[in-house]
Amino acid sequence: MSIVRAQLACGVFGLRHAGRESAVRLRVDVTPDASSVRWEDLHGAARGVVYGLLGGQDEALARALHDGGWRGKPLKPVGVAGPLFTGAPRRKGVYCTSSDGSVWFGSPVPEIASVLVRALAGTEELVWGATRLRVRGVAVDMDAALSAGAGPVELETVTPVVLKYEDRNLLPGDEHYLDRLQHNLAHKADVLGLPAPRGVEVLEAGPRRRFTVRGAPRIGARVRVAMEADGRFVDAIRSWGLGLDTIQGFGWVR
């Protein structure tokens, strides 16, 4: 991690690597004002936070993304994860916090990423549902450097991956799961003008998780997957996420 918020505010970060446009992952270090976050806010608040940040800097872009997706496609190339808390106590039925929290934001699209950078450079607080998160710092994940060529890669998510088939929620091992995951990845590659990955397989899966977002269930599981992919696409997915509803905090890649 590097590049502090002051540098972001001055525009030092040019959203380019080796002369080419690249994806961006941002970590926002936060301290909460409460000992826990409501479960319904964990994913339920994410979408509003993202659009609030985008709309505060570029209302037209935020509205266009909300209403129609990106470049004629319904997909919204934005990822988010959090809030995540290091060293938080474990209590059944409670999402506990600690003073060492973080929220991640990302986008594989430079036009969107640059707006997020500008918005977060001037943000002192994130209102995450009923919890207020004081921003201590913002950093760009320099580990997400643009890769060259293509080859095998493994990706692991820190939040559940949401996939559906005919309005039915899918879990790893279900019929159609791999087909839907491959379709989702190919669709994202098409939006970005990149080659689709091949040979996608699930190596490991976490337990079933269920959340309610805007009154509707979101069901999924964390996964570790392998694929053959172009390095640019790998970087893009690390800033976007696997599966559906990434703007609600699902499918964020570690």
Is 211:42 a contact under the CB 8 Å cutoff? Answer: yes
User: CA torsion angle for 245, 248, 249, 251 (degrees, to 10)?
Assistant: 0
Q: pLDDT: is 8 or 168 the higher one?
A: 168
CATH number of the domain enclosing 189: 3.30.70.1900
pLDDT value of position 147: 54
Do 54 and 12 share a structural domain? yes
pLDDT value of position 71: 87
In a domain, 253, yes or no: no
Do 101 and 154 share a structural domain? no
Instruction: Specify burial of residue 16 (Cβ count, 10 A radius: 0-12, 13-18, 19+).
Output: exposed
How many domains in the chain? 2
pLDDT in tens, 189-205: 999 999 999 999 999 99
How far apart CA 203 and CA 29 sit, in angstroms, is: 31
* pTM, to two decimals: 0.90
CATH number of the domain enclosing 66: 3.30.70.1890
Do 98 and 72 share a structural domain? yes
User: CA torsion angle for 119, 139, 42, 31 (degrees, to 10)?
Assistant: -100
How far apart CA 84 and CA 128 sit, in angstroms, is: 12
